[in-house]
Structure 1
């Protein structure tokens, strides 16, 4: 974890690359935030999860290859990381025109998160976003 200690809490689950799994992942991450005592970040964590999962499905998934959502909590940050199998296509924020249906996801991620980045893997990539924990020292 960039700039964070070892996670106090961690959860990981893999999903089949189907759109119906996006709300499943979103609800799970929001519930984890609540269960881990961080209800103040649950709504933003849910939205970040949706955006990261949508990007994985649209640009990073291959037929019959799973994508993975990892959630972790340290004293300073709540982190959502989505890993997909397609590492040659890295996400880049772009400007969407008013009539465009797509193109705003990473702008939302950049706006809501305290930090975000892309990590290239041997196979695939991980896109992660962190939310600072309100009241945490040096968050």
Structure 2
């Protein structure tokens, strides 16, 4: 089974960051809930309420993986949202760099193992970036179909 794709992207000077937010969490189940709610609220505040449910689900899946598979006692995981004019990047980092994600193909009876499949279905791109300590799993949503409410018009 293949590992997640590596992150080939470098910052695009023609697509500057408009908003950015990050929060560090203790690797517990309640932190996953808090991360999901915070991400949904943040993206709505940034003018993209139509993306809030997808963002919440992606954050929930990636944060759950960080809690279950990437945690080390006494170390936090981070959720970071970065909005540019053309895309939203969701990144969750954890301290376990030796445990790279692998999408699974669970059977209907399996209770777990669908998180990365959900992320892959919702995101336009996703992958992993190795860090000096740990790893970052990221997903990106293109904003071309989701203009902020204050930019939508009824003009032809």
Q: Normalising by structure 2, what TM-score?
A: 0.83
Q: Whole-Å Cα distance in 2 between the matches of residues 112 and 45 of structure 1?
A: 9
Query: Aligned pair 1:54/2:64, yes or no?
Result: yes
In structure 2, C-alpha distance between the alignment counterparts of 1:67 and 1:97, rounded to whole Å: 29
**How many pairs were matched up?**
137
The answer to whether the 8 Å contact 2:104/2:117 transfers is yes
Correspondent of 1:63 among 52, 73, 84: 73
Q: Report SS of the residue matched to 1:129.
A: strand
Asked whether the equivalents of residues 41 and 133 of structure 1 are also in contact (C-alpha less than 8 Å), the reply is: no
The answer to whether the aligner puts 1:33 opposite 2:34 as a matched pair is no
Match of 1:80 in 2: 90
Asked if 1:121 is matched to 2:131, the reply is yes
SS of match in other structure, 2:96 = coil
Distance 1:73 1:96, change over 3 A: same
Q: Normalising by the residue count of structure 1, what TM-score does the alignment of the two structures yield?
A: 0.93
Give RMSD over aligned pairs.
1.7
Candidates 116, 119, 126, aligned match of 1:109: 119
Structure 2: any 5+ residue segments left out of the alignment?
Answer: 1-6, 148-156
1:15–1:67: 8 Å Cα contact kept in structure 2?
A: yes
